[in-house]
Amino acid sequence: MIYAVIDTNVWVSALLTHNDTSPTERIFKLLFNGEIVALYNEEIMAEYEDVLFRKKFKFPKKDIDELLNYIKKNGIHEDRTPFAEAMPDEDDRVFLEISLSREDSFLVTGNLKHYPKLPEVVTPAEFIARFFGV
C-alpha cells in the first residue's frame, strides 16, 4: 500500500484538467482504485473543503463531495508529528506533519517551494514515475 498526503493544489489540478494522462488526474484515479491511501486530519479536510468549494473553480458539488467522502471513508486519519524546523510556508505545515506520521508515506504537492527539501516531498509527476511508471 502507498500512503500519501495529497496537497490541495493536486486536487484542484486534477479537477481542472481535461487530460486523462496528467499526473494529477492519475493520482485522482489511483486513489479511487485503492492503490493510494490518503492520510488526513480535520485541518486538511477543512482546507480541501474551503478551497474546492470556491466559486471561482465551479467544481460540481457532487464531485467534491465524492472526493471528500471517499477520503474520509477509505483514508487514514492521522495525528500530526511535529516538525521542529521552520517552514517556507507555515500554512502548509499540517500537510508535512501528517505525512511524517507514517514512516512510509509521501507528501505529494505541486508547490515544492512551500516545503523543506525532504525525499518524501514529491511532485505529482515524481510520485507517479516512482511508483507507477511514466
Q: What is the pLDDT of residues 27-54, one digit of tens each?
A: 999 999 999 999 999 999 999 999 999 9
pLDDT < 70: residue spans in the chain: 134
Contact between residue 106 and residue 2 where contact means Cβ atoms under 8 Å apart: yes
User: What confidence score (pLDDT) does residue 28 get?
Assistant: 95
User: What confidence score (pLDDT) does residue 132 get?
Assistant: 87
User: What confidence score (pLDDT) does residue 133 get?
Assistant: 79
**122 in helix, strand or coil?**
strand
User: What confidence score (pLDDT) does residue 104 get?
Assistant: 93
CATH superfamily of 2-132: 5'-nuclease (3.40.50.1010)
**What Å distances lie between residue 43 and 51, 61, 77, 79, 80, CA to CA?**
12, 20, 11, 10, 10
Report pTM: 0.95
User: What confidence score (pLDDT) does residue 36 get?
Assistant: 97
In the chain, the largest separation of any two C-alpha atoms, in whole Å, equals 39
Q: Enter the C-alpha cell of residue 96.
A: 508535512
The ranges assigned to domains in the chain are 2-132
User: What confidence score (pLDDT) does residue 134 get?
Assistant: 64
